[in-house]
């Protein structure tokens, strides 16, 4: 069922309902008090954002250890911003959050970045099967060379399973010694890998992968099952969203935006569950 704004308001009408949801996510399965070791239930402490054991009074704080810890912004506002970010295809700018909540730009910016960090933390680190690998460049319009080696732009490496998940991250350059460690940490050995003709990928066959490539410089884009169209589609959506929603992002924070849109891609088959997916990242281990 589509998760609409009316569904959100019905489910989380108050600050109390948001705290109860967080408590359920983090401690809902706890039936034994870690202090007195008795089977127990935790009840809400009035005027405090915590719950206590019915026997010994041991208290747990659902917001502790999450992006909400030490915040003075209402939890209901945080939940609403999570809904905004996950309900839109291209994300939400901090300026829009500032307008809707009436908070300072600094507060809105911090909220958005904390939520992006939470989204990125849930992106997979292990890919397998047939994986497409490519790089792109993010940055403003500059005179001179375009593409690889363009001045003022940040390279971003992307690895996408065919019909599966994606992992993307900003990197300092596209040299072999920079790219190969990321691939080795993310893509399982023995996987098929499709790339373009960048020389940095030439070491893949000797590193335990089945590597094949297409030569974009010669206008070759498909060679049998070898192509990079999936990851290139992701680059297109990422750039359109950054330019249309955020206009410009700094090199320092680029990884957070890349992680947000990788999270969107990885949950593309069920976009209405993205809100739940973000909240699930706060479950207690």
CA-based end-to-end distance of the chain: 29
- Averaged pLDDT, 200-225: 96
Q: Name every residue whose Cβ is closer than 8 Å to that of residue 61 and which is 6 or more positions away in sequence.
A: 49, 50
pTM of structure: 0.90
> What is the arithmetic mean of pLDDT over 200-223?
96
pLDDT at 143 over 80: no
- Determine contact, residues 142/151, Cβ cutoff 8 Å: yes
Query: What's the pLDDT score for residue 285?
Result: 34
CA dist., res. 231 & res. 233, Å (int): 5
**Confidence at residue 283, expressed as pLDDT on a 0 to 100 scale:** 76
Tell me the C-alpha distance between 170 and 178, whole Å: 11
Q: What is the DSSP string of the chain?
A: ----HHHHHHH--SHHHHHHHHHHHHHTT--B-TTT--B--EEEPTTSS-EEETTT--EE-TTTTSTTTT--S-HHHHHHHHHHHHHSSS---HHHHHHHH---HHHHHHHHHHHHHHHHTTS-S-B-SEEEEEEEEE----SS--STT-TT-EEEEEEEETTS-EEEEE-S---HHHHHHHHHHHBPTT-EEEE-S-GGGGGSGGGT-EEEE--GGGT---BTTB--HHHHHHHHHHHHHIIIIIS---TTTHHHHHHHHHHHHHTTTSGGGHHHHHHHTT---
CA 167 – CA 187 distance, rounded (Å): 10
User: Domain limits of the chain?
Assistant: 5-120+274-280, 130-248
Topology, domain 130-248: Nucleotidyltransferase; domain 5 (3.30.420)
Looking only at the bridges linking them, the beta strands covering 166-170 and 154-161 are antiparallel
Alpha carbons 101 and 81: distance in angstroms, whole number: 9
Neighbours of 6 (CB within 10 A): 8
Q: Mean pLDDT over all residues of the chain? A: 92
Residue pair 166/133 in contact by the 8 Å Cβ criterion: no
Helices 75-87 & 105-120 angle (0-180, nearest 10): 60
pLDDT confidence tier of residue 42, bands split at 50, 70 and 90: very high
Q: Mind listing the pLDDT tens digit for each residue in 155-175? A: 999 999 999 999 999 999 999
| pLDDT for position 28 | 84
Angstrom distance (rounded) from CA 171 to CA 179: 8
Residue corresponding to tokens 């307008």: 99
Residue 275 pLDDT > 70: yes
Q: Is the pLDDT reported for residue 146 higher than 70? A: no
């Amino acid at each position: 069922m589509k998760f609409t704004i009316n569904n959100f308001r019905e489910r989380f009408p108050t600050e109390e309902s948001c705290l109860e949801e967080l408590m359920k996510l983090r401690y809902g399965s706890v039936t034994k008090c870690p202090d007195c070791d008795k089977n127990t239930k935790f009840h809400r402490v009035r005027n405090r954002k915590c719950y206590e054991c019915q026997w010994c009074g041991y208290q747990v704080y659902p917001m502790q250890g999450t992006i909400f810890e030490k915040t003075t912004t209402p939890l209901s506002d945080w939940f609403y911003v999570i809904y905004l970010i996950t309900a839109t295809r291209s994300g939400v700018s901090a300026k829009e959050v500032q307008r809707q909540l009436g908070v300072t730009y600094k507060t809105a910016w911090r909220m958005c970045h904390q939520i992006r960090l939470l989204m990125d933390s849930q992106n997979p680190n292990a890919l397998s099967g047939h994986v497409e690998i490519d790089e792109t460049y993010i940055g403003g319009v500059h005179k001179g060379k375009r593409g690889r080696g363009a001045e003022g732009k940040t390279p971003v490496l992307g690895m996408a399973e065919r019909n599966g998940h994606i992992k993307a991250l900003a990197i300092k350059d596209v040299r072999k010694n920079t790219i190969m460690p990321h691939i080795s940490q993310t893509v399982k050995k023995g996987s098929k890998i499709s790339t373009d003709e960048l020389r940095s990928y030439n070491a893949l066959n000797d590193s335990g992968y089945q590597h094949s490539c297409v030569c974009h410089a010669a206008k070759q884009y498909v060679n049998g099952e070898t192509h990079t169209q999936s990851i290139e589609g992701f680059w297109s959506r990422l750039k359109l969203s950054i330019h249309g929603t955020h206009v410009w992002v700094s090199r320092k924070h680029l990884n957070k935006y890349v992680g947000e849109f990788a999270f969107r891609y990885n949950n593309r088959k069920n976009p209405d569950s993205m809100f739940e997916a973000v909240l699930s990242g706060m479950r207690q281990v």
